Chain A
Amino acid sequence: MTTFIIRRLIQSVVLLFFVSILIYVILNIVPGGPFDLLKLSNPRLGQSHIERLNALLDLDKPLLPGWYCPKEAGVPLPCRLDQGRYLRWLGKVVKGDMGQSWTLKPGTPVLELIWGRLGYTVLLMGLSTLLAIILAVPIGIFSAVKQYSVTDYIVTALAFFGQSMPTFWTGLMAIAIFSVALGWFPTGGVRAAGAEGDIIEALGRIFSLGRTYPELAGKELATILDGLHHVALPTLVLTYFNMAGWVRYTRTSMLEVLRQDYMRTARAKGLKERVVILKHGLRNALIPLITILALAIPGLFGGAIITETIFSWPGMGRLNIDAISVVDWPVVQGLLVIEAFLLIFSNLVADVMYAVVDPRIQYS
């Protein structure tokens, strides 16, 4: 087992290394740089200015290790070998420095930008993932146990619908129905107009206050409730979408278990149906769900680009698309590498947990 974990760990690090190369190269190989927008808005900006600005950002250096021929005021200087932008960037990232934003918030460290958005994404994704799991597992199990019943058909149909409805449509329809027509929820954003703080700041204050929080928690209650009011609709949209897949997965997994010989044995032993289903069935059916849980980790921190965009929710997904729109590659690189790391990590977690839980699986 230990050898297995160590081997997978080494594989993961190697994979992450190659992924980071691929991400860096894809982002940097295309034409267009951080000063394109500047050039559009200021026609007096000449090519030599752009080149000087690029040099400031290291953009005149080669991407991968190779020859670098600097120019001083148009005069070529002797070429020298350069380690390349990728390796320089990687060296910084390993030390925990993701560089600075180019265009979104020029000069701000990327990690600071990400840190400011993380709370919103964790709140939204955490709520919707939790809700989806709490609802999907029992519904899926019930649907499988009562296979071919009316409930089963309705559940399966709703799950099919959920999987076929893109979130950008359900999101817009939810706004049109629940916000515009019924007026139950705000159309987007984090806080009501004129509110002083938002839910993340309030939660942050409560947690940082330590022991005195019971008295102060009351003061923050209104802010938190307002935040929950805002997060409700995007949460609902994401919950339905995630649930759809998970219900079908749970149902399939349970149906598979129900056909096993040990279920027949359990019944033949004269166990009560409830015990057979819950103790022998459910516990085995939950094993494949570990994968689902583990694979939800990246989304938890990576956010949902589409839903966050529709509901103007200032999370990681929104940061990502905003950064892409203004060619802010340092921010995008940071986000993508973090997401890739989480994806690889969650795969590792899934594999290891699987091995721990299911003794039938042998890793050599």
Chain B
Amino acid sequence: MTATTAEQLLGREPIPVSKPVSQWGLAWRRLRRHKLAMLGLFILIVVVLVSAAAPIIAPYDYEEIDLRKPYAPLFTPGNEGRPVHILGTDALGRDIFSRLLYAGRYSLLVALITTALTVIVGTIIGAVAGISGGWVDTLLMRFADLLLTLPTLPLLLVLSSSLRQFVALQNFLGSQLSVVIIIFVLLIFGWMGLSRLVRGSVLSLREQDFIAATRALGGNQARIIFGHLIPNSLAPIIVAATLGFGGVIISESALSFLGFGVMPPTPTWGNMLNEARGAPLDYLFTQTLSPGLFIFVTVLAINFLGDGLRDALDPRLKL
């Protein structure tokens, strides 16, 4: 005997039942309606792809010097059939466009690694503080307060210039020393916001009925943490991480711009601006425009995306 549905009994067409949509599916739908966020996502993907494909796309090597052609303007033809210098050349006659693409790899990679580490460290510290409570919580959060009270930029400068003095580090890391140092110092001063966020979220979730229900049904601590607390805190973490990613790009550029971040010859958008600053005033505009524009457009795209994500992931916050 086959099951008879109510519709068949009533002689009607079955009502189409839409597939159940998960919470993330709903968020994605809301995000797709957010035009600026989608624009941001698109720009971000383009910037990432173009930077990742730098060795294929870049017409020149980023270290190729042509001393006969310093500060060439936009669209200067290359020598003897070489590609055109779309964005001109810098003080040493290096092709700015190619350098920007390679710089993007370093700037984005540094920001990505820093953000990932910040999220991991911040989430762990915040979750530990929120779940343990008591003196562990007090200690961790007081420490976070302490770090938040320190003047960040000057201490970032101090740390990144001092850490370079450690001979052991120099021998161990070689030319990548400045990159590792900058990730490290940005991580040290970057995790507090996220851990406060996670802690707050854990504290409020802990008191919710569904946690009590899980406990009543015999769910152990691990199930509560990994099955409920962390997944439910994920939305604000994602938003904070996205906006933090933009912030890290600016911080890294600022440090490199001031000469305390990633050191040449490794190009980043920040240290390209530092070099542009030394250009004769007449060339300042062409030298400054493109590296800054890359930073600006990337960060703007991230901010758009982050804003859209906030609206999509937490409709209660929508203003």
Contacts and interface: CB of A to CB of B under 8 A. Distances in A.
Given A168-B253, A335-B154, A15 B277 contact: no
A309 interface: yes
A321 B250 CA distance: 18
Contacts of B288: 169, 172-173, 176
B42 to A, nearest CB: 16
Contacts of B282: 180
Contacts of A202: none
A100 interface: no
Interface string B69-97: 00000000000000000000000000000
B217 interface: no
B162 A32 contact: yes
A263 interface: no
Contacts of A175: 281, 284
Given A31-B166, A176-B284, A176-B285, A169 B296 contact: yes
B106 interface: no
Contacts of A339: 151, 154
Most central of A164, A173, A180, A340 by chain B CB within 10 Å: A164
A263 to B, nearest CB: 15
A164 B300 contact: yes
B6 interface: no
Interface in B288-305: 288-289, 291-292, 295-296, 299-300, 303-304
Given A22-B150, A340-B150, A168 B273 contact: yes
A23 to B, nearest CB: 7
A173 B260 CA distance: 21
A343 B149 contact: yes
Interface residues of A, number: 47
B257 interface: yes
Contacts of A306: 153, 254, 257-258
A83 B244 CA distance: 42
Nearest to B284: A176
B253 A343 contact: no
A166 B154 contact: no
B258 A321 contact: yes
Interface string A308-341: 0110000000001100110000001001100110
Contacts of A172: 273, 276-277, 284, 288, 292
A173 B289 contact: yes
A15 B292 CA distance: 38
B150 A336 contact: yes
User: Which residue, B149, B155, B270, has most C-beta atoms of chain A within 10 A?
Assistant: B149
A31 B158 contact: no
Nearest to B166: A31
B303 A336 contact: no
Given A172-B276, A187-B281, A255-B319, A321 B151 contact: no
B154 A15 contact: no
B178 to A, nearest CB: 15
Nearest to A335: B154
A18 B250 CA distance: 29
B303 A30 contact: no
Given A164-B303, A173-B289, A23 B162 contact: no
A31 B260 CA distance: 17
Interface in A152-190: 160-161, 163-166, 168-169, 172-173, 175-177, 179-181, 187
Contact of A169 (B158, B295, B304): B295
Contacts of A187: 281
Contact of A343 (B151, B157, B291, B299): B151
Contact of A336 (B154, B295, B304, B319): B154
Nearest to A170: B292
Interface in A199-223: none
A290 interface: no
Contacts of B65: none
A66 B257 CA distance: 40
A175 B285 CA distance: 9
A141 interface: no
A166 to B, nearest CB: 5
Contacts of B153: 305-306
Nearest to B300: A164
A252 interface: yes
Contacts of A358: none
A252 B157 CA distance: 34
A19 B296 contact: no
Contacts of B63: none
A146 to B, nearest CB: 15
A339 B162 CA distance: 21
Contacts of A161: 296, 300
A34 interface: no
A344 B296 CA distance: 32
A223 B254 CA distance: 33
A165 B296 contact: yes
B151 A336 contact: yes
B266 interface: no
Contact of B149 (A176, A332, A340): A340
Nearest to A309: B258
B64 interface: no
Most buried by A among B145, B159, B282: B145
Contact of B303 (A32, A163, A309, A310): A163
A73 interface: no
Nearest to A144: B319
B190 interface: no
A302 interface: yes
Contact of B285 (A173, A336, A340): A173
Given A18-B146, A164-B296, A164-B303, 8 more contacts: A165-B296, A166-B296, A168-B258, A169-B273, A173-B292, A176-B281, A324-B158, A340-B149
26 contacts: A22-B150, A23-B150, A26-B158, A27-B162, A30-B165, A32-B162, A164-B296, A166-B292, A166-B299, A168-B254, A169-B296, A172-B273, A172-B284, A173-B289, A181-B285, A252-B319, A255-B319, A298-B151, A310-B277, A321-B258, A332-B158, A336-B154, A336-B155, A339-B154, A340-B150, A344-B149
> Which 4 pairs between the two chains have the least Cβ-Cβ distance?
A169-B292, A30-B162, A176-B285, A164-B300
